[in-house]
Structure formats: structure tokens, C-alpha cells
Structure 1
Amino acid sequence: MTDLVLHIHSSPAEIDAKAWNDLLALQPNPSPFMRHEYLAALHESESATPESGWTAAFVTLRRGKRLEGACPVYVKDHSYGEYVFDWAWANAYEQHGLKYYPKALVAVPFTPVPGARLLARDAKSRTLMVHGLVQWCKQEELSSLHLLFGADEDIAACAEAGLMLRHTVQFHWTNTEPGYPNFDAFLASLSHDKRKKIRQERRKVADAGVSFRWSRGADISTADWDFFYRCYARTYREHGNAPYLTRDFFRCMADTLPEAWVLFVAERAGKPIATSLIALSAAAENGASGIDAPVAAYGRYWGALERVDCLHFDACYYQPLQWCIDNGVSRFEGGAQGEHKMARALMPVKTTSAHWLAHPSFADAVERFLEREGAGIENYMDHLGERSPFKAS
């Protein structure tokens, strides 16, 4: 018996923002993407709503009025915007005359950033949430439950509850203690060919007459946000897709979570031609929104109106890395996939998701598949480890 009660909410607006953020600040790996302001903006801007296939069903765990646990949950009728791909699973269901959608997702929409998903005061509350989520999925007759890019504590709770684990690879840069004093010192740590290539790429951008400026937090002007969105939307449309996030989403960010963003603007002859946007996370002990102590940065979005050789590399990697070094940021996460990032000193990191499937036979088949895939991931990590861009120690 327990006095903890599970509640389902149809909108993040139904949950007290301070209580949610206070719970997030207790987690070992908080990120700005799990803040109430970020999740509420996705909903209020109509970026993640039932109309776009993201029906909120947020979970809270309470003891009386006290919030003991919480997590973002979405009921989905597609698999877009997730970055842990289960299209083959959905196709297999369809081929056997079964419905894979709707399914339940514990994740941040459109955001493949590892970190806390099950916000809990202790391990018991975290495990109770997992069991409660599985039971709720059964009651709602959902095909499956998926927790994406979870923290170690989340994955441990899911494994204890019998969920299957799946691994993927991302690429992260680390500014190890005592930290690089400047960008040249960072370059000096690389092998000769990698160092030479980066300098050549940055020289091409400079020789094309391109320079950069950056703004942080409230210093990002409305005009810069407008220009950024123009570039962001153009990049998506050039790849044949509509942008996931609306302009109103970034307007919400400027209003409610400005401290979480740094914007780089590339200019030529005084005219802006490209932008890149990174997000910041602060130390848990300082609160997840502290502006003065960023400990991690996350490469998020970029776009350009003009084509300049190597501009993408400079805007998305070298400018953010130089900013991280200058501001004492210890980690830069480059997002999902991208083996080419190793040439820019972003090293492979294994990320984990957890999965529960209601259909026993499909659950058995997926478990066998994940065993084979997991062995392949381990071999892939070993292979990548042999290709370090750094000098031999």
C-alpha cells in the first residue's frame, strides 16, 4: 500500500510551474528542455498539440498536495520528431493487421537531448511512476510505452520494471579540467591533420568576408529572433519538410526562458546571412535556470540564406565551442547522429531509451532484435574509439 496517487493531465498548464521546476532542480542531469516553461511553450505555440499528433497526458505523482514525481507524456499517432526510430516496428504491426498507433511517449518533442525524464524525489517514486505508466497504457489500450534519452536513474527504474533497453550513439565535446584556456589550446590538443582541417575551414569562412556576433538571453533582439526563424524555417523547407516549431514557440522562449539561449549571427558586409542557436543548462545546485553558471550547451538549430563554403561547420561547431571555452562550459552536445562530428572533437557517447510493448509476441521479437542491435552498437563504439581526433597520449 502507498499514499502516493498518480494523476494524468491533458496540458502542462494544469501543473504548477514552480513545483515542476523545483522537482527538476533535484535531478542529477537537468536540462532547459525539461523546464515547465519549455514544455508549456510547445503546447501554447501549437508546436506539439493533438493537431500535430502530440496529445499531452502528463503524469504527476502526489502525496496529498506535495508533488513527488512528474514526467511529460504524449500519446502519439506517428513517430516523427523522436530521433529513436521505430518505423520498422510500426510496419511489422501493420503487416500483421495490428495497430501500432496510438502509442505513449515519455520524451521532449523534437529534442534528442539526454537527461532526466522521470522527475522524482527518490528511487521509489521513480519506479512507481514507471509501473503506473505501464498500467495506464494497458487501461488506455495503447500499443506501447517509450522513454527516450533517459538519465541513468530513469533507465534503471525502467529496467527494474521490465522494460527493454535500446542504445543509440550521439557525439559530445568535453572541456575537461582544468579546461582549455582558449580555442588555440583546444586545437593544439588535436592531431595535426584535424587541427589543419579546422583552421582551413575557418579561414575559408573568414576569407569570404564573414564574421560572427553572438547574443545571450534577453540581449537577443526581436529582429534577431525573426531572422533566426527565417533561416530555421528555410532549412526545413529546403529538405522538403515543414518546421516542427512555430515562430510563437521562440517568442515564448524569449519571454519566459531567455537565459537558456545563445544566438550566433553570421554577417557579411554588415548583412546577416546565417544563424545558429544553442541552449544552455546550469548546475543542478544553482537551479536549472541559473544564467551565470552554464555547465552544458546543446547545439540545436541553424539556417542560412546564402551559401558559403564551411559556414555550417563554423556556425554550428567552432563558434559554439569557442564560446564554451571562453565561458567555462564543460560540455557541448551536438545532437542526434553525425559521425562527421568526430572530426570536430565531438566524441561518441552511448544514449539509452526504454520500451514496453503490450503484445507479447511482438515484445519477444523486439527483444531479440534489440539484443542483436545492441551488439552492433558496442562494435560501432569500439570502431569509433579507434578514430580519435586527439593526439596520441
Structure 2
Amino acid sequence: MQIQVTDSIDTVPAADWNRLNPDGNPFLRHEFLAALEHHGCVGETFGWLAHHLLAFDDEHRLVGAVPLYFKTNSYGEFVFDWAWADASERAGIPWYPKAVVAIPYTPATGRRLLVDPQLVGHEAVRQALIEAAGELVREQGLSSLHWLFPDTADTASLEDAGFLLRLGCQYHWTQPGYRDFDDFLDSFSAHKRKKLRRERRRVVEAGIEHRIVHGHEAGDADWRTMHHFYQSTFDKKWGTATLNLPFFRELGATMGEQVVLVFAECDGRPVAGALCFRSPTALYGRHWGCEADYHSLHFETCYYQGIDYCIREGLTLFEPGAQGEHKVSRGFLPTPTWSAHWVAEPRLRDAIADFLSREQRAMRDYIHTLHEEHLPYKAGRLPPQPSHVRPID
């Protein structure tokens, strides 16, 4: 087996890379990562420098890969390490550049060790990729290596390899097989069910209708409108919109069947939109924007339309994005998320390990409290816990 490093995913044929992603995760597709590179959404401007790891067998057949980037900032990661960076700099230890294994700007759980599932010796390739990532970081003199939002199996492998684990929390929706949205609401307590129905009714009373378009069906006007909504959210929050219109257009052309655009329209005019992605089993909410403030429109466009879509399409998981404790009362389960960290400087590593131990205890208590006291479901009607992430005790 040979390990190589590439600064462009285009050096790998799309079919070879996608063979390592049998679950159809949209963010791990060659087309998604390539579009980021083609249109400058990653690179020097935004501090995401591709150094993808590739594992080849003796016949030069791709058998494993890791989407790895050198970072000159912590923007777009959603596992916040600014306090660590500050402490490191104050100690005279440069924190940047560092390395991350992640999907840029995407806090969605998934595999980070991509290995041919038909390969004999599957675990050996996983271990070789972990070791190769560590060797690359040490050779380049980087401060640290971070694996962001790995799935259950990858989290276990990284812990076995000695990485420090960090526990976070998102809010994910699962279903046991609801017939329709009303069937989903029947699992709620009466008070919570009434509140949610009132929110949906207010959107209808405002004269707003929703239209769902898949990426390969969207016209250029649809893409311009969605990008406008995406850009407007960052403008309002003084953020940096790193995804440009050509990136959106390329996704529509190359993987449009996995892109879901949700438009809210009033008198035929778009007033809000949400951009989602899907796999054969899951929906992922990513970006949203609006023209005006309508009561409950965010909840309807970003959450209830997505739940409706999942029920119709038979999808069992909906990840609506990071943060948002208000999602719990609307049927989303507090769900652990993980990241794994290696830090070169021993003193700093020890301090971070101590912090993570204390933070993890607090996060476990927080998740348990939400489950025990704040879920809207009736007794005996709790949906299945998400299985794609490592559970907590």
C-alpha cells in the first residue's frame, strides 16, 4: 500500500473517489469537494489548503482516502477552538497552521476515513491513513490535527489511536416510519402539538406557499435567488459568505439529484429559501435566508418542510444544521457529536485534555437533561435514537 498527498481532488477520477462513499453522503462526493476547489471556496483566500490523503494498493487502485486541509484560521469548522488558539499563542506556540480532516463549512456527521468497503484488510487501510495523517502533520511542523464530526466507527478508531475526544451536541430528527406529518404530530403531547400547528397555520395565513425544487430541476433564476438568500444571511450577521454562485451552479449540474431547494413564496415572489442536501437515507439542512420577517417562517421553511420531505421520501434522518436548542421542542433529539484532536506541544495537550474531560462531563449532563425534561413526545412515542454517531453513556 502506498500513501500519496494531493492538493487537488481532480487528480483522482470521480468514480474512484465515489466508490469509497457507498452511503451516498453528498458532502463526501467527489463532485461536492471538487466544486469547492474549482470556484475558490477553499484555498488560500479562505485558509483551507487541500492536502488530501490517497491510499493505493499494489495495482495502483485507490482503496482509501481522507479529505484533509491545512488551515490558517478556524473559520468554517463548527468545532470552536479559538480559546485553544489564544492560549497557545500566549504561550508562544503558534496555533496556525494546523490540519483538519473535515468537510469545509459543513457540520454534518459522516465518515472521514474513506475505505473501499469491499476491500479485504479494511481496518489496515484505516490505520494506515490515520498514521499517514499524523506523519504529514509532524513533517510539516503543524501545531495540531483535528478530525471533525466523524461517525461512530471513525470515532472509535481515532480514540484507539490516542486522539483526545471532544463531545458536542446537535439536534437531529429520526422517524420510525410516520405515515404523514399529522402522524408525526400525534406522537407529541397535546400542548406541544397545538403550538406547532399554530406555527404552521401562521405561515399559511400570511399567504406564503412553499415550493421544493431539486438541483437538477432548478433554473438559473432559482440558483440566483437561493444564492441571494444565502448571501443575505451572512451580510446580516457580519459573516463571510464563502460559497459563490458558480459553486451553486456546478452542484446543480453535477449532483443536482442530491440538492434540495426549498422556496417560500408570497404572491408568487420568493421571500425566503433553504438549501438542503440529501443521501438515500438522510436530509441535511445547510443554509437559509429571508427577505422579510414573517412569524414562524424560519421554522416552517427550515424544519417542517424538511420533516415533511423526509416522511414523503422515506428518509430516516434529518440533520438541520448546527446549534439551535429551540429545535428540541419541535421534535429534534439532542444528539452527541464528536471530534478528535492531537496536539504536538505536550504541555498544551495536557491542558486541553483536562479541559475536554471537564467539558465532556458538563455536555453529558446537558444532553441527559434535555432528554429527560424537554422532549415534546408522549410516553412510549419517542422516535429511535440516531445511530450514525457514537452514543454517550
Q: What's the TM-score once normalised by structure 2's chain length?
A: 0.93
CA distances 1:347-383 after superposition (whole Å, capped 9, x unpaired): 0111111100011111111111111111111111111
2:37 corresponds to which residue? 43
Q: Give the match's secondary structure for 1:156.
A: helix
Distance in 2 separating the partners of 1:130 and 1:92: 27
Preserved CA contact (<8 Å) 2:99 2:144:
yes
Matching of residue 331 in structure 1 with residue 325 in structure 2: no
Indicate how the Cα distance of structure 1 residues 30 and 167 shifts in structure 2: closer, same or farther if over 3 A, else same.
farther
Q: Which amino acid aligns with 2:34?
A: A
* Contact 1:30-1:115 at 8 Å conserved across structures: no
Question: Aligned partners of 1:162, 1:9: CA distance in 2, in Å?
Answer: 26
Q: 1:183 maps to which residue?
A: 181
2:26 is matched with 32
Residue number in structure 2 paired with 1:358: 344
* Contact 1:273–1:305 (8 Å) recurs in 2: yes
Aligned partners of 1:365, 1:391: CA distance in 2, in Å? 43
Q: Which amino acid aligns with 2:41?
A: S
| Cross-structure match for 1:392 | 379
Between the aligned partners of 2:227 and 2:45, the Cα distance in structure 1 is 22
Kindly indicate whether the alpha-carbon contact (under 8 Å) linking 1:343 and 1:389 is maintained by their aligned counterparts in 2: yes
> How big is the shift at 1:244?
2.1
Give a deviation string over 1:90-123, Cα, whole Å, max 9, x none. 0001111110000000000000000101102311
Match of 2:212 in 1: 214
Distance 2:63 2:71 in 1: 26
Residue deviations 1:148-196 (CA, integer Å, cap 9, x gap):
00012211221121111111111111111xx111111111111111111
Distance 1:331 1:136 in 2: 35
Query: Which SS does the other structure have where 2:216 is aligned?
Result: helix
CA distance in 2, matches of 1:182, 1:221: 29
Structure 2 residue aligned with 1:53? 47
* Structure 1 partner of 2:285: 299
Describe how 1:16-165 pairs up with structure 2 within 5 A: 16-25=13-22, 30-64=24-58, 65-121=60-116, 122-165=122-165
Structure 1 stretch displaced more, 141-150 or 156-165: 156-165
Counterpart Cα distance in 2 of 1:221 and 1:343: 36
Q: Are 1:342 and 2:297 counterparts?
A: no
- Aligned partner of 1:256: which letter? T
Q: Counterpart amino acid of 1:174?
A: T
Q: How far does residue 270 in structure 1 lie from its aligned partner after superposition? A: 1.4
* Number of equivalences: 373
On the 8 A contact 2:215/2:253 being kept in 1, the answer is: no
Amino acid at match of 2:356: L
Query: What's 1:174 paired with?
Result: 174
Displaced runs of 4+ in structure 1, greater than 6 A?
none
Report the CA distance between 1:30 and its aligned residue.
Answer: 4.7
Secondary structure in structure 2 of the residue aligned to 1:272: strand
What is the 5 A alignment of 1:248-327? Answer: 248-282=246-280, 295-327=281-313
Question: For residues 124 and 238 of structure 1, what CA distance do their matches in structure 2 show?
Answer: 48
Give unpaired runs (5+ residues) of structure 2: 117-121, 381-393
What residue is the counterpart of 2:119 in the other structure?
none
Alignment correspondent of 2:362: 376
Gaps of 5+ in 1: 283-294
Residues 231 and 274 in structure 1, CA contact (< 8 A), matched pair in contact too: yes
CA contact (8 A) 1:165 1:352 kept: yes
Partners of 1:185 and 1:152 lie apart in 2 by 30
* TM-score normalised per structure 1: 0.93
Contact 1:181 1:325 in 2 (8 A): yes
Q: CA deviation at 1:214?
A: 1.1
Structure 1: distance between partners of 2:24 and 2:110: 6
- Once the two structures are superposed, residues 182-233 of structure 1 have per-residue CA deviations (whole angstroms, 9 ceiling, x without a partner) of 1111111111111111111111111111111111232122211111111110
Q: Distance in 1 between matches of 2:113 and 2:313?
A: 30
Look up the match of 1:292.
none
AA aligned to 2:179 is: P
Task: Choose which of 9, 30, 43 in structure 2 pairs with 1:12.
Answer: 9
1:288 is aligned to none
Secondary structure at 2:279 match in 1: strand
Helix, strand or coil for the counterpart of 2:377?
coil
Offset at residue 242 of structure 1 (A): 2.5
For residues 61 and 271 of structure 1, the distance between their equivalents in structure 2, rounded to whole angstroms, comes to 50
Query: Residue 287 of structure 1 corresponds to which residue in structure 2?
Result: none
Moved more, 139-148 or 158-167: 158-167
